């Protein structure tokens, strides 16, 4: 069962303090208005069940146990996709050469593509129905996803 918005807000305030981060800095990282982060901290918006949960957990370096306490459903997804650090390294070597080339070419334009979690998500999603094959297709695919995410938020 998810936390209430007020309890989630208290936890977010504590995590921000621990990370020595201000609400406005988190808002910039998420690409949202600082007032929205303020609403999360004040308990008006339950961030543990919202679209920014993963980004917040990552940016504030939440521990697996903290994530599990906040949202049980997300832990299952994270554990499935990330696994242990050993299996994560093994999966990194499974990235296609074309995706790796796309990362090298495009990282100066959008550094987000360098994030290994982003690369793993691209590779996993790209495996459906054949997915991108060439370096250029991977770059287009990455941009399509970025644009879609911006429109949906």
pLDDT digits (tens, 9 = 90+) for 105-122: 888 888 888 888 788 777
pLDDT of residue 28: 92
Task: State mean pLDDT over 39-51.
Answer: 91
**What is the C-alpha radius of gyration for the chain, rounded to an integer number of angstroms?**
17
Tens digit of each residue's pLDDT (9 = 90 or more) over 59-84: 888 887 888 888 776 544 444 444 44
Of 98, 115, 11, which is closest to residue 53 (Cα–Cα)?
A: 11
Least-confidence region, from 16-20, 35-39, 44-48, 87-91: 87-91
pTM of the model: 0.51
pLDDT at 71: 79
Q: Is the pLDDT of residue 43 over 80?
A: yes
Position 35 scores a pLDDT of 95
């Amino acid at each position: 069962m998810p936390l209430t918005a007020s309890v989630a807000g208290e936890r977010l305030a504590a995590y921000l303090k621990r990370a020595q981060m201000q609400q406005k800095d988190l808002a910039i990282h998420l690409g949202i208005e600082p007032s929205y982060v303020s609403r999360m901290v004040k308990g008006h918006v339950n961030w543990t069940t919202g679209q920014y949960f993963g980004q917040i957990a990552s940016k504030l370096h939440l521990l697996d146990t903290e994530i599990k306490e906040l949202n049980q459903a997300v832990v299952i997804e994270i554990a499935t996709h990330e696994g242990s650090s050993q299996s994560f390294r093994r999966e990194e070597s499974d990235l296609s050469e074309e995706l790796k080339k796309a990362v090298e070419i495009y990282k100066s334009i959008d550094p987000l593509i360098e994030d290994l979690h982003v690369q793993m998500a691209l590779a996993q999603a790209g495996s459906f129905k054949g997915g991108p094959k060439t370096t250029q297709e991977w770059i287009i695919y990455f941009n399509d996803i970025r644009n879609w995410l911006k429109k949906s938020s």
